[in-house]
Amino acid sequence: MASFDFKVLVSTFVAVFVAELGDKTQLATLSMSSGAASKWSVFAGSALALCATSAIAVVAGGAVSRLISPVWLRRIAGGVFLALGALFLLTRGD
């Protein structure tokens, strides 16, 4: 079993935290909590959903990294982000 890496934990937390600020997931959670009687239920539901999607990403990342080098995965992900960014900048938001 791999050892615990605090540096990876902190960098992952910061990256996900910053990426999630103001995104559609946070806005949906804000909207749901504004009309819900139980704010803790909304919090628990949204936290479990984020944990579930993160678990899927970790498992998928582990599987894909057996086929593709992590360096190439980062390059591919970076390319996809750049392409999507260019697409969003160049298209109208109708």
User: Which tokens sit at 32?
Assistant: 């749901």
Residue 1: pLDDT band by 50, 70, 90 thresholds? low
| Rg of the chain, C-alpha, whole Å | 17
- pLDDT at position 23 is 84
Residue 72: pLDDT band by 50, 70, 90 thresholds? very high
CA distances from 24 to 2, 9, 29, 31, 62 (A): 34, 24, 8, 10, 27
- What number is the average pLDDT over the span 32-42? 93
- What number is the average pLDDT over the span 59-86? 92
- pLDDT at position 40 is 95
DSSP letter, residue 22:
T
Entry pTM: 0.68
- What number is the average pLDDT over the span 47-70? 92
Q: Which is higher by pLDDT, 22 or 44?
A: 44
